[in-house]
Amino acid sequence: MIAVVGMPGSGKSEFLNVALNFGYRFISMGDVVREETVKMGYKIEESGKVAQMLRDKDGLDAIAILTLDRIRENHDNKFIIEGIRGIKEIERFRKEINFFLVGIHASPNIRFERLKNRGREDDPKSFEDFYSRDVRELSWGLGEAFALSDIIINNNSTLDNFRIEIEAVIKKYGL
């Protein structure tokens, strides 16, 4: 399995799109949170709040546990896990599965523009919202998790260059 870590808007979803061509299936930890948000009766825009609630209630690996449950339901070992946010999640995954951690980096200004253009309901509408979201996610340990990446891909260039980098990583590491 491959796990992907990076700040919102860094290019994790594009990594997944390319990896699908290599036969991987994916599971988004953000989608897991959004599903839980709906189950708990909250609006999608409140998914960050729900993620924090789950972590406060069940520990910093709460989302990892929910993600592992979904992976087990599929009985498949060729998955990409997108959206790791902290060391506790990495520890949980390493305890239960073998995976390669890919970090994706992009500058804050580039990420903010990407998120504005993406148009998902829970994307930030202002740079203040964007910054607050970054601070919240960093408080969960995302920076430390990123530092534990087996490899880091820089995504400050063009989409074509990023796709070439992704394919090179997948081929080089036999993922």
What backbone phi and psi angles, to 5 degrees, belong to 151? -150, 150
The mean per-residue pLDDT over the stretch 75-104 comes to 87
Q: Count up the domains in the chain and report the number.
A: 1
CATH number of the domain to which 154 belongs: 3.40.50.300
Q: Say what the pTM is.
A: 0.82
The mean per-residue pLDDT over the stretch 121-146 comes to 89
The percent of residues in the chain predicted with pLDDT above 90, rounded, is: 59
Q: Answer whether residue 2 shows pLDDT above 70.
A: yes
What's residue 50's pLDDT?
Answer: 94
What's residue 99's pLDDT?
Answer: 83
What's residue 76's pLDDT?
Answer: 66
Angle 33-38-39 from CA coordinates, rounded to 5°? 95
The two most distant CA atoms of the chain are separated, in Å, by 44
Residue 43 belongs to domain spanning? 2-172
The mean per-residue pLDDT over the stretch 143-158 comes to 94
Q: Using one digit for the tens of pLDDT, what is the confidence trace for 46-85?
A: 998 999 999 999 999 999 999 999 888 876 677 889 888 8
What's residue 139's pLDDT?
Answer: 86
What backbone phi and psi angles, to 5 degrees, belong to 81? -100, 120
